Structure 1
Amino acid sequence: MRPSSLTFRLSLLFVVAVSAVLIIVAIAFNELSRHHFRTLDAQALEEKLEAIAQIAKEPGANSDQLKIRWHTLLGAHSDLSAVFLKADGSLFFAEPPQSSAPSLAQAIEHDGVWEWKSDGHMFRALRAPLSVPDSSSPLTAWLVLDVTTHMHFFAMLERWFWGVLIASTVLSAALGWLVAKNGLRPVAQVTQTAASMSAGSLKQRIPLEPVPDELRELITAFNSMLGRLDDSFMRLSNFSADIAHELRTPISNLRTHTEVILAKKRDSDVYEENLTSNLEELNRLSGIIDGMLFLAKSDNGLVVPEPVELHLEKVISKLFGYYEFLAEDKGIQLRASGSALIFADSVMIDRVVSNLLSNALRYTPPGETIEVIIQDYDERVEVRVENPGPVIAPEHLNRIFDRFYRADPARREGAGNAGLGLSIARSLMQAHGGAISCISEEDRTAFILTFLRHADRSQPEASAF
């Protein structure tokens, strides 16, 4: 079943709310009106009964005189009848004369006033004892008031109510639709903007000025989403361009070498030399593809560490052993200090620190020293890889961890280095719940690895390695 529109739902809720309010008001007005008329009728009956009792108390009045006086008092009220019964149940006086005592089989009493319906009429009656001079025992006085006009009034009121309710329902439905349509106009604007989105219009934003407060949060979130999409699209476009640039160079070299070799017959030494050169370019391509595959896994949450207990000073010492010969060739010293215990994936941490040491060796001048400082804090552990060398400009510091990014686009960083090392290092640190940052000033550059204590002892189920 297709769900109804939001405009229809709001209109329906508006109609239901208006109808409910009208019904409640009508029921309350009906009950108050009935109570008011009941009170007025009881008051009228009590006043007549009081007047009858006052006549009966007049000194020297006999029965005939009382009847004449009572006839004069009651005869002018066509809707009022009175019946006075003796103690034995016989009739003493009735006005009109054909009146009889009411039957209370179907009557209901409300605060001493009896109420019943008979032959399409509605009556209210008051019963009270009445003392007269000629009678040894008090009479039973019945005053009966015909309130059929009240019943007709309430019937007419009910018809009016249903008519007003139907008219109000139709009118409120129309007004509710207009109000909902107008109120949801910003939502329609969001929908229209979302439908018109394309790669070339991601910078478009929905203005917040005419938007009601209830929708500001939605539109702010939508604008933020557009900003993130725009940023992601730009990164993807740049990434695609960088990939094309990085793959074009080794492929172009391979094709050029192959075309030159195949241009004429050559000695086996020449073939071997060119095959070796081609192998270097193939290794470069393989490194780029491996790095791209790893980053794709990281973006999709497929890089899951297998934490083990690691003594960072031992990890650094082991990696120093790998790089000491390269450092000796360049006249660079390696120095480490500090110690700390973390829970992390051994292979991943080796790769992160290796990338940083490799970068440090590439940019450190001969005769200088690369320092690795381990600092153990209460809530975190920091590993600082610091080396002297060219300062990274501030505008590049926030982008050096982007894929294929180079501070100097014209500079080639050597075979096998495609500008993915720092991106991979950041992905590995994020997989551990940590972070990597860079500080570069006063001819020294430091990369800082931060491991949070609460993330050290996480125990993922599987590893991507």
Structure 2
Amino acid sequence: MKRLSLTARLSLMFMLAVTAVLTAAGLSFNHLSQLHFKSLDQHTLVEKLQASQSILGELPSLDAFAEARPQLQALLGAHRELTAIILDSNGKVLFADPAPVNIPERFRSAVGPRDWEWQDQEHMFRGMTAQVAVTGQEQPLTVMLVLDVTHHMSFFVTLQRWFWIGLVISALVSAGLGWVVARSGLRPLRQVTALAASMSAKSLKERIPMAPIPLELQQLVSSFNAMLARLDEAFVRLSNFSADIAHELRTPVSNLMTHTEVVLSRKRNIEDYEENLYSNLDDLKRMSRMIDDMLFLAKADNGLIIPERKRIALEEVVDKLLEYYYLLADERGIELELSGSGSVQGDVLMLHRAISNLLSNALRYTPQGKAISVQIRQNNLCTVLTVENPGATIPPEHLERLFDRFYRVDPARREGSPSNAGLGLAITRSIVEAHQGRIWCTSTNGRTAFHLEFPGPESSIRCRRSKA
């Protein structure tokens, strides 16, 4: 089933709102009008009844009723729609003006003043029955005043008919006006939609201006502009990533081609061929390692890296790595220090790889004769591992981008070594995030530190990163 457009839905809601308001107003007016006319009729009946009671109450006896007839006729006959009937105790009609009305028997008797309504075919009557005591008469007289209110009912029937006709017309008109208003009000949204439809990879830097946008749509436009900024950044990073891949792969491929062409340029002995194959093998290993790293990052981007959940003592992992890096550090007179302890729930091979990347970076940039320290701290919520080394201070604007793929602080393009293709920190961040942790770097006063923060072994809640 096709859904209604936003314009149609707003028009429909506007029509329903107007119809509901008019219906409530019309029904209220009709009810109040009926109460008003009923109150007027009751006031007329009460007034005539009190005057009749006063005239009859002054009679010395029932025999003098004829003397009161002219007064009764003057009082009751002046109202054209009013019928007055006076009965004695036996039900005999003593007075009827203008003519007796066939009133149902249930309305003919009353202990006190009694209001009633009665419909006879197309006529509607509203009346009042009361008893009046006469001097010298044991039984009181019965006075019935009947008011023909047919014209009132006809008025309300006509009013209701025209009300429903007017309501239908108002609903249709309000629907049309609602469509016009909704169409006009949604014009900025259509402009935003048209601009969004015109966006392409070449126009991601464009932004929707906020000045002409209504207040209700500013949040939407602001979110859309923010999305464009994220897309632009992602597109630039993807473009740079593609360029970096081509740049990094160009060197080993070029080396392979050059070595092979040189070897094939003339006949050589078996030692030359072996040397060329070993050289090619180094480049192939470098390419294979780079491809494996890129595949790992691609899996991490799609949430396919699911680490094991085992309790791991970080100091044991770091201690084994320090034994491995000790020979490399000893050649340059660099000391390796470990302090603290802590455990996490994770994958030992992944954590081994992440920490190894940090130690390898630290060894690469630590001056000779200095020391690299690894500190492990643990509290109730989280475990933090810090790898700190002396060296050149990294400018603050580069700290957040250190974990981008192929990113180097040095703006000059440099081919990486076989062990450094610029993917190590990106892989480390992916591993840490797969363990529900986070990583950040600080660099001040000639000392650079990488901090790895993991949820504690008994906690599944990310702990808040403390500001240095």
Please say whether Structure 1 and Structure 2 have the same fold, judged by a TM-score greater than 0.5.
yes
Among 262, 266, 285, the residue aligned to 1:260? 262
Matched, 1:356 2:366: no
Q: Greater shift after overlay, 237-246 or 360-369?
A: 360-369
Matching residue of 2:383: 381
Match for 1:143: what amino acid? Answer: L
* 1:47 and 2:47 aligned: yes
Conservation of the 8 A alpha-carbon contact between 2:128 and 2:145: yes
> Pairwise mapping of residues 255-294 of structure 1 onto structure 2 (< 5 A)?
255-294=257-296
Structure 2: gaps spanning 5 or more residues: 462-468
CA deviations 1:327-358 (Å, max 9, x no partner) are 23333332222222322221111111111111
Distance 1:455 1:194 in 2: 47
Q: Which whole-Å deviations, capped at 9, do the CAs of 1:413-463 have from their partners, x for residues lacking one?
A: 3123210001001111111122222223333322222223278669xxxxx
Conservation of the 8 A alpha-carbon contact between 2:381 and 2:455: yes
2:83 alignment counterpart: 81
Q: Which deviates the most, 446-455 or 352-361?
A: 446-455
Shift of 1:121: 1.4
Instruction: Kindly provide the amino acid, as one letter, of the partner of residue 440 in structure 2.
Output: S
Report the Cα offset of residue 105 of structure 1. Answer: 6.9
Q: Kindly provide the CA deviation profile for residues 375-434 of structure 1, in whole angstroms up to 9, marking residues without a partner as x.
A: 334433222222233333333222111101112233333123210001001111111122
Q: For 2:42 and 2:297, locate their aligned partners in 1 and report how far apart those are by CA, in whole Å.
A: 91
Query: 1:183-240 CA distances to partner (integer Å, 9 max, x unpaired)?
Result: 3233223322221221122222233334444333333222222222121111111111
- The alignment status of 1:100 with 2:101, answered yes or no, reads yes
Distance apart, 1:66 and its partner CA: 1.6
Q: Partners in 2 of 1:349 and 1:8 — Cα distance?
A: 57
Map 1:322-361 → 2, pairs under 5 A: 322-361=324-363
Shift of 1:12: 0.7
Residues 437 and 454, structure 2, Cα contact 8 Å, conserved in 1:
yes
Q: Partner amino acid for 1:293? A: L
Tell me the secondary structure at the aligned position of residue 19 of structure 1. Answer: helix
- 1:439–1:445 contact (8 Å) kept in structure 2: yes
Give the match's secondary structure for 1:447: strand
Residues in 2 aligned to 1:455 and 1:176: alpha-carbon distance in whole angstroms: 59
- How far 1:59 moved relative to its partner? 5.0
CA contact (8 A) 2:311 2:343 kept: yes
Letter in 2 for 1:9: R
Deviations along 1:121-160, whole A, 9 cap, x unmatched?
A: 1111111112345744211111111111111211221122
- Retained in 1: the 8 A contact 2:107–2:116? no
In structure 1, the residue corresponding to 2:401 is in which secondary structure? coil
Asked if structure 1 preserves the Cα contact closer than 8 Å seen for 2:84 and 2:144, the reply is yes
SS in 1 for 2:439: strand
419, 422, 425: which one pairs with 1:416? 419
Name the CA shift for 1:137/1:389 in 2 (closer, same or farther; >3 Å): closer
Q: State yes or no: 1:306 paired with 2:287.
A: no
Shift of 1:33: 0.8
3-state SS of the aligned residue for 2:201?
coil
Distance 2:231 2:390 in 1: 38
- For 2:77, give the aligned amino acid: G
Matched AA of 1:223:
N
* Partners of 2:288 and 2:255 in 1: CA distance: 15
What is the distance in 1 between the residues matched to 2:171 and 2:153? Answer: 27
> Structure 1: which 5+ runs fail to align?
459-465
Farther-moved stretch of structure 1 (351-360 vs 197-206): 197-206
Return the alpha-carbon distance in structure 1 between the equivalents of residues 313 and 28 of structure 2.
80
- Residues 315 and 208 of structure 1: is their aligned pair in 2 closer, same or farther, counting only changes over 3 Å? same
CA distance in 1, matches of 2:105, 2:358: 105
C-alpha separation in 2, matches of 1:436 and 1:60: 115
- Equivalent residues in 2 for 1:174-213, closer than 5 Å: 174-213=176-215
Does residue 27 of structure 1 match 2:27? Answer: yes
- In 2, the alpha carbon distance for the partners of 1:76 and 1:354 equals 115
Give the Cα–Cα distance (whole angstroms) in 1 for the partners of residues 166 and 143 of structure 2: 44
Instruction: Work out the CA distance in 2 between the residues paired with 1:136 and 1:231.
Output: 108
Cα distance in structure 1, aligned partners of 2:408 and 2:289: 17
What letter is aligned with 2:35? H
Q: Could you say what secondary structure the match of 2:39 adopts?
A: helix
Contact 1:81 1:99 in 2 (8 A): yes
Per the alignment, do residues 136 and 100 of structure 1 end up closer, same or farther by CA in structure 2, a change over 3 Å counting?
A: farther
- Counterpart in the other structure of 2:13: 13
1:433 corresponds to 2:436: yes
**Residue number among 208, 213, 216 corresponding to 1:214 in the alignment:** 216
Distance 1:160 1:454 in 2: 78
Report deviation, 1:93.
Answer: 1.4
User: What SS is found at the alignment partner of 2:304?
Assistant: coil
Moved more, 18-27 or 383-392: 383-392
Partner residue, 2:145:
143
How far off its partner does 1:307 sit?
2.5
The aligned amino acid for 2:100 is S
TM-superposed deviation, 1:6:
1.1
CA-atom RMSD, angstroms?
2.3
CA distance in 2, matches of 1:420, 1:154: 86
Say if 2:344 and 2:457, in contact at 8 Å, map to a contact too: no
SS at match of 1:411: coil
- Secondary structure of 1:304 counterpart: coil
Question: TM-score, normalising length from structure 2?
Answer: 0.91
Instruction: Mark the CA change 1:59 to 1:90 in structure 2 (over 3 Å): closer, same or farther.
Output: closer
Residue 101 of structure 1, CA deviation: 4.5
Deviations 1:298-347 (A, max 9, x none): 11111112122222222121111212222233333322222223222211
* Aligned-residue identity in percent: 52
Aligned equivalents of 2:153 and 2:15: distance in 1?
Answer: 30
Query: Match for 2:311: what amino acid?
Result: E
**Cα distance in structure 2, aligned partners of 1:147 and 1:271:** 124
